[in-house]
Structure 1
Amino acid sequence: MILLLGETAAAREISEYLNSRRYELTRMQTWSEKASLHLPSLVIDASPPSSSVKFAHLRQWCEEQDIPYLRLERPETIVPVSPLIYSVNNWEEALIQLEDRVGTLYQEKGRLVTVFVTTGSHQLESIVRSPFARLARIVVRVLPEGRLVQKCQNMGISPRNIIAMQGQFSKEVNKVSLKFYGADILLTRDSGSAGGTDTKVSAALELGIEIIFIKRNNPHTGLTVYSVHELFDWVDANIPAPKCT
């Protein structure tokens, strides 16, 4: 049995391929050791980079069980040099930078500062509960899933400030969204071109919007591939396809 992690476009493509080859496949968004009734022959992690912490225990468990853990990693995004881009190494640094920029822009503009968040809902509460949130209007873009929208609302984010859309988005779509909501700051992380990082950054730069950019500084160690085709080749070479009956 192959365990596939992630709800990305790449995960869907991988699922279609494995099903076409008649592999026994289970897809999961979360994992706990107690839920593992059967040992998989392979774990494929096609989740976004932001999920790396969530599946850290699973990686460790696979090492203990001697089960291959194959990570589909998105190539790092090269962002241009610009005074509008504030690059940080992690979420904690992003919050510090947000506090500084929100405070500065609030003094300059004399109004609430609109922060357009595209990093999902996982760590969103730390923004909503931060002291600088009273100076900001938080707009968040998440996947169109009821549980995510409800999660944002439970944090106190107004429905009018929740964008539930499935990417990837073009630069033009990003520009329309940023402009419509009057974004002053774009908070985003490096999720690669597959995650639309390049189009978000270029759209914000063209509109003169500040960008707090969370770099990818913890690359996955172990079995790693950088495209779905490379992943297919690895599976074909290492996991025997089921025999047709």
Structure 2
Amino acid sequence: MKILLLGGTKDSTDLIKHLKSNYDTYILTTTTTEYGSRLALEAGSDDTISRPLLKDEIIGIINNSDFDLLIDATHPFAEHITPTSASVAEICDIPYIRFERPALSFDDIDTSHIIFAESFEDAGKIISEKFPDGNVLHFAGANTMEDVLKNVSIDNFYPRILKVEKSIEKCNNLGIPPEHIIPMKGAASLEENIDLIERYDASVMITKESGEIGGVIEKIDAANIKDISLIMIMRPVIKEVKKEDIVSDLEEFDEKIKINAETEI
């Protein structure tokens, strides 16, 4: 089975390991960074492309290499690539699976310190109104910083980002002081989050609703313990993806693979 996997997440590396352990596959993984590419290769991907791809480029890759399956395992907040991948699958008439981590259930979680927001620009507005002089820990990636900084002072802004060239370049372009940049490697533990709150005297944190795998629960718990606010951006609904094409765990994924195989027969 020849698979084109749109990756760059922990979900995608887990999926690569699962595929290599349970199926006879060739996997080409696309990521937007060299770091993501390295993790994909370490997980067992046969090859990688480590840069953002245009829609026509993805179509060309599929048509020129005779792939059997397109899997989108990008981040739940990758609003552009997921609709694009669904469209590509239709154009190329190739089986398609969207592997998306389940949304966080707040049923048994203390949400008393959470402020829900619909966008990062809204998050910045909330901070300017409620915490105008407070320090801000930004736990939502380099691509979302600019929208927050429309309403938040750089002097109070501390982003936790992957220490890769593109992310550092974004910080430099926005004028973020190097001493404000917090290098990251994977999701932070509860203890690490508490340490960051204390070290930077933070009044508020920003995060995405990226599910348990994204370390959201540890951020919520840290905010509760340190009695500070956590602004949470809710994940977007991607209307272009059919519900039946979405799976949320490896068991559902295997069932989908089985259904696709039976359909081919």
TM-score normalised by structure 1 residue count = 0.83
Partner of 1:243: none
CA deviations over 1:169-205 (Å, ceiling 9, x no partner): 2211211122212111100110000111111111111
Partner of 2:12: 11
SS in 2 for 1:218: coil
Partner of 1:63: 90
Contact kept, 8 Å, 1:31 with 1:58, in 2: the verdict is no
SS in 2 for 1:49: coil
Contact kept, 8 Å, 1:145 with 1:164, in 2: the verdict is no
For 2:5, give the aligned amino acid. Answer: L
2:190 and 2:166 map into 1 onto residues whose CA distance is 27
Query: Which residue of 220, 223, 227 maps to 1:208?
Result: 227
Query: Which residue of 102, 107, 121 maps to 1:75?
Result: 102
**1:94 positional shift:** 2.3
**Residues 1:120 and 2:146 aligned together:** no
**Residues 1:152 and 2:171 aligned together:** yes
Report which structure shows greater RCO (CA 8 Å, sep ≥6).
1
Structure 1: gaps (5+ residues): 107-112, 241-245
Kindly report which structure 2 residues correspond to 1:1-245, keeping only aligned pairs within 5 A, or say none: 1-20=2-21, 21-29=23-31, 30-36=52-58, 37-39=60-62, 40-79=67-106, 80=109, 82-103=111-132, 106=133, 113-128=134-149, 130-133=150-153, 136-218=155-237, 221-222=241-242, 223-239=245-261
Contact kept, 8 Å, 1:175 with 1:207, in 2: the verdict is yes
* C-alpha RMSD of the superposition: 2.3
Contact kept, 8 Å, 1:127 with 1:133, in 2: the verdict is no
Partner of 1:110: none
1:170 and 1:22 map into 2 onto residues whose CA distance is 36
1:47 and 1:114 map into 2 onto residues whose CA distance is 30
Structure 2: gaps (5+ residues): 32-51
| CA 1:239–1:172: 2 relative to 1, 3 Å | farther
**1:206 positional shift:** 0.7
SS in 1 for 2:143: coil
| CA 1:64–1:99: 2 relative to 1, 3 Å | farther
1:230 and 1:82 map into 2 onto residues whose CA distance is 30
**1:239 positional shift:** 4.7
SS in 1 for 2:90: helix
2:213 and 2:193 map into 1 onto residues whose CA distance is 15
SS in 2 for 1:232: helix
Q: In the comparison of the two structures, how many residue pairs are matched?
A: 230
2:96 and 2:223 map into 1 onto residues whose CA distance is 36
